[in-house]
Amino acid sequence: MGQLIYKESVVKSGIGFGSALAMVISFSVNQSILWAMIHGVLGWVYVVYRALVGGY
C-alpha cells in the first residue's frame, strides 16, 4: 500500500511541475502573464487530446 501512495504523490507533483514549467518558459519568451496562463492550461488539453485520439 505504501507504493500506491508514493505513485499518487509523484503524479500530483508531475502535473504541477509540468504546468509551472510551461508557464515559466512561455513568460520568458512572450513576456505576458496572460499567455503564460493560457499555455499552462492548454498543455494539459493537448495531452488529453492525444490520449483520446491515440498516438501514444
Per-residue cell: 15: 502535473
pLDDT at 33: 93
Q: Domain ranges for the chain, please list them.
A: 2-53
Residue 40 contacts residue 20 (beta carbons within 8 Å):
yes
3-class SS string, the chain: CHHHHHHHHHHHHHHHHHHHHHHHHHHHHHCCHHHHHHHHHHHHHHHHHHHHHCCC
pLDDT at 54: 77
What does the pLDDT look like over 1-56, one tens digit per residue?
555 555 555 555 556 787 888 889 889 999 999 999 888 888 778 778 878 887 65
- Dist CA 8 CA 42 (whole Å): 23
This prediction has a pTM of 0.56
